[in-house]
Amino acid sequence: MSYNPEVWTISSNEALKVSIADDQGYVSFPPLFTYPIFGDSEQIFGYKDLKIDLVFDSITFLPFLKVSYKEKLNDEVDDITAKLLEFLPKSTIVDDEVKWVDAFKKEQEELIDYNKEFELINTYNVKNEEFSIFKTSFQTSEGEKTKAVDLMKRLQIFVLLFIEAGSYIDTSDELWDLFILVSNKTKKILGFSTAYSYFKYNGAIEFDSNPNVKKRNKISQFVVLPPYQKTQHGSSLYSSIISYWNGNELVEEITVEDPNEKFDDLRYRNDFKRLFEEGFINQLPKNLKTIDNKWFITNANKFKIELNQFKKLVEIGYLYTENIKLARLLIKKRLYEKNRDGLVELELAIRNDKLQTAYESIKQEYDRLIDSIRVRAVNDIGSSKKQKV
C-alpha cells in the first residue's frame, strides 16, 4: 500500500457536495468554506475517492448524510461521518435514504404552520410566484423553547459552509430572532437570517426611568441558499427586515455584523434605494458648510442607519446626482478625520497625494455600486408606485 500523502489527501471543499431535494429531484452545489469542520487547510487525509453527500429536504430541511470512499488508509484517520455529525442536529439520518425520505414526508404532513406560529412581516412576488418572510423567536414569553430552535439546528450548518468566520448562535438567548424566507406555493425554505437586539444604553437616568428601553438591532447571519440567489430574494429579505424594524419605535439603530463584500453591496443598494425613494438623496445640501457631524447624526438617526454607513451613503448620493466636487470633499474629509494622526505628520504635498489616491480608489468602488443600482432600478418590477432609483 502506498503512503504517498498526495494519494490519500483531498480538498474537503471538493469532497463535500451539498444538495437540496424536492419531489422533482435535487440541486447540488459545493460549499464555500469547510475549515470550521475540517481545519484551516480544508483538506481530508486518509481516503481515496472520498465523497460526502449532505442532502436536505427543501421543506423540512431534515438532513441526510452519506460518506463513501474507495479505500481507507487505516482506522486511525478521522471518522468523517462522526466529524460532520458534531455540526448537524441529532435528527440527521445517516446512510439510510429510504428512512430519510419516509421521515421528511411524515414531517411534511405535520409541517410548521408559519402563518399561525410565526409572525408574517412581508409578502412579495417574483415571476408570478408569491413568497413570504416570517419572524420568530427561539423562546416564548414564558421562556419555553419554540419550534424555531429545531429548525435553526438544521439550517445553521449553512452558516459555516457559506459565511466566512460564521459560527453557531446561542438559541437559549432570548434576544435572538430568526427570519425565514418561504415560497407560499411550494413551502420551500429559500433563505434565513438571524438577528440580535441590544439594549441601547444612553445613560443611567434615561435607562432607569424609561420602561420602554430602546434597542440597537443587528443582522448577524444572512443566507439565501445557492439555488435561489440572483433572483431578488436577498434584497427582499434584507429590505423586509429593515422595514419591520423601522416600524418599531423602540428600535433606534440598525446595524450589520461583519458583512462580507457581497452582502455589503446588497446593503448599500437597498439602503440607498430607501433613501432615494423617500426623497432624501435629491434633497442633499448644496453647501458643504451645512454638512457637519450634527447633520449626519440627526439624519442617520432619522433613518436608523449606523453613522459610518450613513456617511458613505451620502457620499454615494452626491456621486449619483453627479455633484462630484462635494462627493470628493466629503470623502477626503472623512478619510482625513479617520487617519488624522498619521496624516498630520506628513508634508502637505504627500498628504494630499495620499488622500487623492484613496479618494480615487473609493470613487471607483462607488461608481461600481452606482452602476449596479441603476441596472437593478431598470429591472425593478413592481416599483412603479415609487420614484425609481
> Catalytic residue positions?
257
Residues with Cβ within 8 Å of 241's Cβ and at least 6 positions away in sequence, in order, are: 121, 133, 179, 193, 195, 219
Which residues lie below 8 Å from residue 269, measured CB to CB, with a gap of 6+? Answer: 235, 369, 372, 373, 376
Nearest to 329 by CA among 291, 369, 371, 279: 291
Phi/psi at 191 (5° precision): -175, 175
Q: How far is CA 202 from CA 185, 206, 210, 251, 357, in A?
A: 46, 7, 11, 13, 38
Residue 318 CA to residue 370 CA, distance in Å, equals 11
Which grid coordinates belong to 220?
A: 448577524
CB 241 within 8 A of CB 219: yes
Question: Which H helix or E strand runs over 123?
Answer: strand 119-126
Give me the residue label for grid cell 460532520: 84
Rounded Cα distance between 77 and 83, Å, is 11
Residue written as grid cell 419591520: 244
> Exposed, middle or buried by CB within 10 Å (0-12, 13-18, 19+), for 312?
buried
Using alpha carbons, select from 103, 91, 82, 73 the residue that is nearest to residue 5.
73
Q: How far apart are CA 389 and CA 385, in angstroms?
A: 12
Torsion angle defined by CA atoms of residues 36, 40, 41 and 44, in that order, rounded to the nearest 10 degrees: -30
Contact 33, 81 (CB under 8 A): no
> Residue 276: beta bridge partners?
none
